[in-house]
């Protein structure tokens, strides 16, 4: 499996790390607040830097005070440094080099990684001399910048790519091109690129395969659910280290936190999220955590919906699953705290509740676990592997059209405005989710019940038994 390069942003608290993270990412992903210590965990997201895709890591500030979460946050930052291929060391240009900056520099010199010192808050050209003080930290690359005014950001991006190892640079470029190709398919589906749509139709007529590149990354799994279901405990059990900071203080997990783990030679990326509350109960910073949870679902390949075995599933759980299903994300229903279920009657009640609440996704696997006691996690990994195999499966065009012809002989679409509706041919145009483009003379005349019939038959025929698939109809004369 190809690995993307990791770029970590580190430094003491409140120097602008999260602002730089968001600037490089091109959107607000890390939560920014005036309160110290808002970024508690490592936050990892893909960022496109000069036509290369890297994994960008934001960290909590390195702090040696030992107060509150300081020790845990510092451990998280040090772990990020160990995993990084390039490290951006952010300092406050207005304050100058502080004793804590010097302590961070001492840690960085030991890691022997490429280091870029980003001197932030150099908001005007006449302030550039303030960056000179940073050279005494002992690093060659010092870049004056301002995250607010975008000063120095282009130079920083160039330096990041320059310092990447060549093999990882190639992976970063390949990933960027994969995303560009996926966007092209999305424009075709949205009706914004009819020229490419015609090219695809002509390729099918010539019985040519539509090129779909295999995924170059490990599966991304988002752990979602209502607050206090044990998401961070499950993440730590799966990863095997204290990646998400767990405490008795409500709202500990504020951001979506990506964690990498390798088990039996297989790599996975787990995304822990803040609990999704009802909209009416979301206040202040929790609103941004809610948005991060939705973003985590969007970035994920697979969604683990965590349910409390004692409480049972609720209407809110069904709505959360509905959010994932709208984005065509495979769902694993993980029922946590099974050690609390003591008798057969309670088990039967729980099963009946699951059947009723999740009747709209009967194909979603259910796994009964105890995150705290690490019970049945092997089964969870088995389901993840099986689902990801289906989610990245490519059906050959010839095989697909033979099956489509057989289905049309069994069941034709109904007549539309006294016209016979024909489905000529189709092809798979992408994976994650498996997306099929079908050409018809009257796509608008194909009713929802026939579309559902076709979806179910395709899922059965080609082994998409645990995941949603997407079927898009386009007009062909």
Q: What is the pLDDT of residues 220-278, one digit of tens each?
A: 999 888 877 777 788 888 877 554 433 333 344 445 567 777 777 788 888 877 555 55
- Partners of 306 in the β-ladder: 334
Rounded Cα distance between 226 and 215, Å, is: 30
CA-based angle 430:436:440, to the nearest 5? 140
Long-range contacts of 210-215, Cβ-Cβ distance < 8 Å, separation of 24 or more: 210/397, 210/427, 210/428, 210/429, 212/394, 212/428, 212/429, 212/430, 212/431, 213/178, 213/181, 214/392, 215/178, 215/392, 215/431, 215/432
Q: What is the mean pLDDT of residues 439-450?
A: 94
List, in order, residues 6 or more apart from 66 with CB less than 8 Å away.
none
- Give the phi and the psi of residue 184 in degrees, each rounded to 5: -60, -45
pLDDT in tens, 5-40: 999 999 888 898 889 999 998 866 555 444 444 444
pLDDT in tens, 283-309: 544 555 566 677 788 889 999 999 999
Q: Is the pLDDT of residue 151 over 70?
A: yes
For the domain 6-168, what is the CATH code? 3.40.50.300
Among 4, 5, 2, 44, CA closest to 164: 5
44-48, 77-81, 82-86, 389-393, range with the lowest pLDDT: 77-81
pLDDT in tens, 204-215: 988 888 878 777
Among 215, 258, 256, CA closest to 238: 258
Instruction: Tell me the whole-structure pTM to 2 decimals.
Output: 0.73
Question: What residues does CATH 3.30.300.20 cover in the chain?
Answer: 194-210+394-475
| DSSP single-letter state for residue 257 | E
Which tokens go with 421? 């509706």
Which overall architecture, per CATH, does domain 220-391 show?
A: 3-Layer(aba) Sandwich (3.40)
Question: What residues does CATH 3.40.50.300 cover in the chain?
Answer: 6-168, 220-391
pLDDT value for 61: 61
List, in order, residues 6 or more apart from 448 with CB less than 8 Å away.
none
Among 153, 160, 97, 148, CA closest to 123: 148
pLDDT value for 216: 64
* Higher per-residue confidence, 285 vs 397: 397
For the domain 194-210+394-475, what is the CATH code? 3.30.300.20
* DSSP code string of 367-392: EE-BTTTTBSHHHHHHHHHHHHHHHT
């Amino acid at each position: 499996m190809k690995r993307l390069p990791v770029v970590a942003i580190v430094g003491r608290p409140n120097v602008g790390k999260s602002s730089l993270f968001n600037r490089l990412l091109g959107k607000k992903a890390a939560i920014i607040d005036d309160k110290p210590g808002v970024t508690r965990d490592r936050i990892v997201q893909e960022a496109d830097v000069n036509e290369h895709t890297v994994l960008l890591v934001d960290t909590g500030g390195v702090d040696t005070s030992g107060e509150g979460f300081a020790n845990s946050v510092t451990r998280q930052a040090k772990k990020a440094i160990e995993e990084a291929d390039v490290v951006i060391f952010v300092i406050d240009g207005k304050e100058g080099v502080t004793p804590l900056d010097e302590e961070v520099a001492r840690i960085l010199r030991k890691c022997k990684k490429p280091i870029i010192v980003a001197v932030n808050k150099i908001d005007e050209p006449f302030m550039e001399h303030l960056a000179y003080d940073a050279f005494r930290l002992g690093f060659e690359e010092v870049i004056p910048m301002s995250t607010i005014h975008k000063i120095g950001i282009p130079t920083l991006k160039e330096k990041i790519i320059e310092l990447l190892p060549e093999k990882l640079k190639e992976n970063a470029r390949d990933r960027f091109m994969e995303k560009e190709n996926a966007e092209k398919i999305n424009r075709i589906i949205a009706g914004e690129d009819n020229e490419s749509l015609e090219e695809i139709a002509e390729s099918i007529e010539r019985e040519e395969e539509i090129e779909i590149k295999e995924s170059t990354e490990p599966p991304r799994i988002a752990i979602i659910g209502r607050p206090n279901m044990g998401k961070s405990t499950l993440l730590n059990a799966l990863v095997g280290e204290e990646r998400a900071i767990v405490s008795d203080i409500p709202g500990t997990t504020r951001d979506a936190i990506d964690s990498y783990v390798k088990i039996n030679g297989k790599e996975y990326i787990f995304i822990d999220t803040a609990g999704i509350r009802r909209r009416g109960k979301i206040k202040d910073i929790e609103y941004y955590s809610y948005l991060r949870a939705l973003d985590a679902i969007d970035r994920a390949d697979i969604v683990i919906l965590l349910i409390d075995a004692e409480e049972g599933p609720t209407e809110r759980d069904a709505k959360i699953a509905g959010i994932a299903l709208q984005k065509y994300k495979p769902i694993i229903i993980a029922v946590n705290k099974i050690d609390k279920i003591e008798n057969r009657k309670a088990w039967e009640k729980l099963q009946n509740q699951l059947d009723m609440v999740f009747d709209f996704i009967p194909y979603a696997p259910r796994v009964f676990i105890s995150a705290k006691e690490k019970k049945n996690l092997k089964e969870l990994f088995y389901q993840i592997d099986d689902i990801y195999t289906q989610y990245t499966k490519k059906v050959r065009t010839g095989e697909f059209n033979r099956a489509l012809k057989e289905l049309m002989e069994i069941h034709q679409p109904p007549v539309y405005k006294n016209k016979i509706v024909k489905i000529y041919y189709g092809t798979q145009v992408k994976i994650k989710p498996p997306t099929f483009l079908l050409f018809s003379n009257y796509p608008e005349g194909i009713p929802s019940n026939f579309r559902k019939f076709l979806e179910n038959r395709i899922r059965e025929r080609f082994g998409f038994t645990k995941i949603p698939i997407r079927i898009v109809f386009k007009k062909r004369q």
